[in-house]
A and B are shown apart, each in its own frame.
Chain A
Amino acid sequence: MDVELIRLTKRYGHTTAVDGIDLKVRSGAYCCLLGPSGCGKTTTLRMIGGHETVSGGDVVIGPRSVGDATPAERGTAMMFQSYALFPHLNCRDNVAFSLKMRGLAKAERRAKALAMLDLVQMAHLAERLPAQLSGGQQQRVALARALVTGPKVLLLDEPLSALDPFLRVRMRTELKRLQAELGITFIHVTHSQEEAMALSDLVVVMNGGRIEQASDPRTVFERPATAFVARFIGGHNIIRLPDATEVAVRADRMRLGAQAGPGAVPARVVSVEYQGTSVHVGFEAEGPGGTATALTALIDDRAYAGDPLALGQTVPLGWDADAAHRLSPRA
């Protein structure tokens, strides 16, 4: 189902956590709310899920504004950051919990819960208590519990942050697979740009309670709207031009030495980090007004091996003219 936020606002006393945001997530999309901690992304998610009252504006799910409806009435289900599995119930009963609340007969809800556990490959551990499971397994159970009532929108609050990096990548793939299989709308809160890029159809970059940019991942990376977005998703140099406008240039589009072109500036090498397929080279260049600007160039490993750089060396540094993307003036 479509999810639409209209001038959605959340205030706590004098502080505004979410500041009148507008957003439309179309049905069946994988949307990531991305931003640093305190940017209002979790509050937004909780307002969509009915776990936080709305100070102003509207949440529209499908055809109607949800107002004060309970999560079940909204057709949303939430997966909590700490999973929030009931410690006194085994996996099967955890998954069957919402069916029990709806008054389904024991045999029926157990069968449904087992089928859902099977979907997340946890049916063989159905009798275990949450405390007897690893983090990844708990997460699968939490996912099954959220999905068992057939929600139209699944809300995930930093679902991967408690996992180790290896498991995080695996679960990421699995989330994407499940979403494609079920065809329901996923709204996923994360502070990892890598996660957002890998998963979403729609990346919503938030900062200070506002949306900085909401686009598909490629647009966000190719044409970041603001300096904040460019900085947050990484891999960009933000360069202040002599006419006081700012442009973002992808680190892999920086050009060195002979290829640097006529607009090149002299830059001193301050760090070299070998990354396998590429080499990260940190530069310090003199910007307009004599301030030192830190720049990064991402150089293909083979090109770097052919023409290595030494720390402290000064080289001309420029970029392809079409690689410069003008940023909107808002900080």
Chain B
Amino acid sequence: MTDIALPAAVTEAAPAKAPAASLTTKIRRHRALAYLQVAPMALVFLVFFVVPLALTLIVSFWEYNEYEIIPAFTVQNYVDVFEGCLNTSDACTTVRTYLSTLKFCALTWACTLVIGFTVAYFVAFHVRSRTLQMALFLVCTIPFWTSNVIRMISWIPLLGRNGLVNDTLMRMGLIKSPIEGLLYSDFSVVLAFVHLNTVFMIVPIFNSMARIDRSLIEAAYDSGATGWQTLWNVVVPLAKPGIAIGSIFVVTLVMGDFVTVGVMGGQQIASVGKVIQVQMSALQLPAAAANAVVLLGAVMLMIVAMTRLIDLRKEL
């Protein structure tokens, strides 16, 4: 039956070709214009994103020795990354490094989420005047007026063995000897991460909350919801897009970090970023590239998992 119908359809379509031609040129012109409009952004994207990424990917398959990197195809770099990982009894270096980084990531995420949500909630729902809201936001950005490294270093006199915190606690008679774990420990690393990254949680969550219609809160109250019920059943679901965006910021920043872990961990704590940095300084660029590609994959998986929980494109 299709055999018979097909030629008929073709002959029918033929006369319609002529008027369609002018239409297609018009569409084509529109398309050309659209491409022209996206060209600048596409160019920036290409030069600063696609090209470096492609180079990293290419270099990760190159060989290297102590003196040079050799443009030849090998998967040895990836084999090195996962060396010993098939041994189930004892976790390999890579897995242990990732677990350590993931631990920091999870702790930082939890802390920034709680603090960020609370601050955003306060500013969005309890501060009535727009001017005051803006002022409070500026206060949140004050830590960013100095460089990342200086902000971290400024923790040292505070947390050190004879630092301000230990000193004060001892003088108050609360402790007999200084607390050792304040600086160069997991605690100080997480503290610095939270300090650096909370604002990336506050801003998107506030943005989501600011768009919540206040009459919805009244409607919840009218429906007999308590404050906590309103928070959980109305505010949190509607702030989800902001929570997701903030989480992506924090997770990607912490996963790729090496400076904070280095400075605040006293160069004693391993992280994926740190491994890459060490390999880079040893000029083992292909190995560093392979590690970077693996890290990129891991972070992308995490982001995919997060966007699974919430459809960002739908929410924006």
Chain A residues within 8 Å of B, Cβ to Cβ: 49, 51, 70-72, 77-78, 80-82, 84-88, 97-98, 100-102, 145-146, 149
The distance from the CB of A99 to the nearest CB of chain B, in whole angstroms, is 9
The distance from the CB of B252 to the nearest CB of chain A, in whole angstroms, is 26
Q: Are B224 and A102 in contact (CB under 8 A)?
A: yes
Residue in B220, B224, B226 with the greatest tally of chain A CB atoms within 10 Å? B224
Residues from chain A with a CB closer than 8 A to the CB of B220 are 86, 97, 101
State the CA gap A85–B229 with chains docked (Å): 16
Residues from chain A with a CB closer than 8 A to the CB of B229 are 101
Q: How large is the interface on B (under 10, 10 to 19, 20 to 34, 35 or more residues)?
A: 10 to 19
Q: A97-B233, A100-B233, A101-B229 given as contacts; is B216 within 8 A of A84 (CB)?
A: yes
Q: Are B215 and A84 in contact (CB under 8 A)?
A: yes
State the CA gap A51–B216 with chains docked (Å): 12
State the CA gap A149–B223 with chains docked (Å): 8
Q: Are A78 and B222 in contact (CB under 8 A)?
A: yes
Q: A80-B215, A84-B215, A84-B219 given as contacts; is B224 within 8 A of A101 (CB)?
A: yes
Chain B contact residues, majority secondary structure: helix
Name A146's closest neighbour in chain B (CB-CB): B222
- For B221, give its contact among A51, A81, A100 (CB under 8 Å): A51
Q: Are B233 and A77 in contact (CB under 8 A)?
A: no
The distance from the CB of A138 to the nearest CB of chain B, in whole angstroms, is 13
Residues from chain B with a CB closer than 8 A to the CB of A86 are 216, 219-220, 234
Q: Are B218 and A97 in contact (CB under 8 A)?
A: no
State the CA gap A87–B212 with chains docked (Å): 10
Q: Are B222 and A51 in contact (CB under 8 A)?
A: yes
Q: Are B225 and A71 in contact (CB under 8 A)?
A: no
Does B238 lie at the interface of the complex (its beta carbon under 8 Å from any beta carbon of A)? Answer: yes
Q: Are B221 and A98 in contact (CB under 8 A)?
A: no
Q: A86-B234, A101-B229 given as contacts; is B221 within 8 A of A70 (CB)?
A: yes
- 4 shortest interchain CB distances as A-B pairs: A98-B223, A72-B224, A84-B219, A84-B215
Residues from chain A with a CB closer than 8 A to the CB of B215 are 80-82, 84
Q: Are A101 and B223 in contact (CB under 8 A)?
A: yes
State the CA gap A97–B218 with chains docked (Å): 13
Residues from chain B with a CB closer than 8 A to the CB of A149 are 223-224
Residues from chain B with a CB closer than 8 A to the CB of A84 are 213, 215-216, 218-219
Residues from chain A with a CB closer than 8 A to the CB of B221 are 51, 70-71
Q: Are A87 and B238 in contact (CB under 8 A)?
A: yes
Q: Which parts of B166-192 form the interface with A (CB within 8 Å)?
A: none
Q: Are B218 and A88 in contact (CB under 8 A)?
A: no
Residues from chain A with a CB closer than 8 A to the CB of B218 are 51, 78, 80, 84
The distance from the CB of A38 to the nearest CB of chain B, in whole angstroms, is 19
State the CA gap A146–B224 with chains docked (Å): 11
- For A98, give its contact among B213, B224, B226, B237 (CB under 8 Å): B224
State the CA gap A84–B223 with chains docked (Å): 12
The distance from the CB of A45 to the nearest CB of chain B, in whole angstroms, is 12
Residue in A51, A84, A149 with the greatest tally of chain B CB atoms within 10 Å? A84
The distance from the CB of B208 to the nearest CB of chain A, in whole angstroms, is 12
The distance from the CB of B216 to the nearest CB of chain A, in whole angstroms, is 5
Name A51's closest neighbour in chain B (CB-CB): B218
The distance from the CB of A126 to the nearest CB of chain B, in whole angstroms, is 18
State the CA gap A78–B229 with chains docked (Å): 19
Residue in A71, A72, A101 with the greatest tally of chain B CB atoms within 10 Å? A101
13 contacts between A and B (CB under 8 A): A51-B222, A71-B222, A71-B224, A72-B223, A77-B222, A80-B215, A87-B216, A88-B238, A97-B220, A98-B225, A101-B233, A145-B219, A149-B224
Q: Are B237 and A70 in contact (CB under 8 A)?
A: no
Q: Which parts of B221-263 form the interface with A (CB within 8 Å)?
A: 221-226, 229, 233-234, 237-238
Name A71's closest neighbour in chain B (CB-CB): B222
